[in-house]
Amino acid sequence: MRCVRFTIFAALVCCLAALAAPHGARAEDRWVVYVNDRFGTTISYPAPRFAMQPPPANDDGRTLIAADGAEILVFAANNVAGDTLASKRAALTGPDYARTTYRANGANWFVVSGYRNIGGVDSVFYEKYILSRDGGVFHSLVVTYPSALKRAYDPIVERVAASFATGE
């Protein structure tokens, strides 16, 4: 009798687990949150797709690398130069920004995106910068991926960018 009850209980647990799991869920659907302890910079990202690299010595952020060449850099830095959003945006010049196709801005942030050559591979870049309320810290999100993967990565970048926050 005890064995029968255990078997019924085990079958019930398995059925409930199967019902709780989303149908058609893929590994890249499992997103996790990264929070930088030093600056409070936060993003959500698809953990199975990206491998988090060790933190730098100053613990200002992290680099996440995908097997297909995509990278996410999330970091922050003290604004020792006293830059404004306008001066920071104006400094983004040169060959890396020659094929910029998108710019947007808000009260405390701006985005620049386009195409650049990275290691001989035509790639998409997306950069978002947020200035802290007191102007003392710039929080940065930089995402790059091969242009050939644009269709797959655009929705991922959209979700990562929407999650990008300062912790303020």
Q: What is the pLDDT of residues 13-52, one digit of tens each?
A: 333 333 333 333 354 579 999 999 999 999 999 999 999 9
Calculate mean pLDDT across residues 118-133.
Answer: 97
How far apart are alpha carbons 140 and 148 in whole angstroms? 25
Residue type (1 letter), 20: A
Write the secondary structure of 15-41 as one string of H (helix), E (strand) and C (coil): HHHHHHCCCCCCHHHCEEEEECCCCCC
Picking from 11, 27, 28, 8, the residue whose alpha carbon sits closest to that of residue 19 is: 11
Give the CA dihedral 52, 58, 60, 65, nearest 10 degrees: -20
| Upper half-sphere CA count for residue 134 (Cβ side, 13 Å) | 6
Picking from 88, 93, 95, 114, the residue whose alpha carbon sits closest to that of residue 103 is: 114
Calculate mean pLDDT across residues 140-163.
Answer: 98
Provide the pLDDT confidence category of residue 87 given band limits of 50, 70 and 90. Answer: very high
- Write down the H helix ranges in the chain: 2-20, 85-90, 150-163
Asked whether the beta carbons of 160 and 73 are under 8 A apart, the reply is no
Domains and CATH numbers, the chain: 26-163 (3.40.1000.10)
Residue type (1 letter), 150: K
Say what the pLDDT of residue 13 is.
33
Residue type (1 letter), 91: A
Helix (H, G, I), strand (E, B) or coil at 153: helix
Whole-model pTM: value is: 0.83
- Write down the H helix ranges in 23-137: 85-90
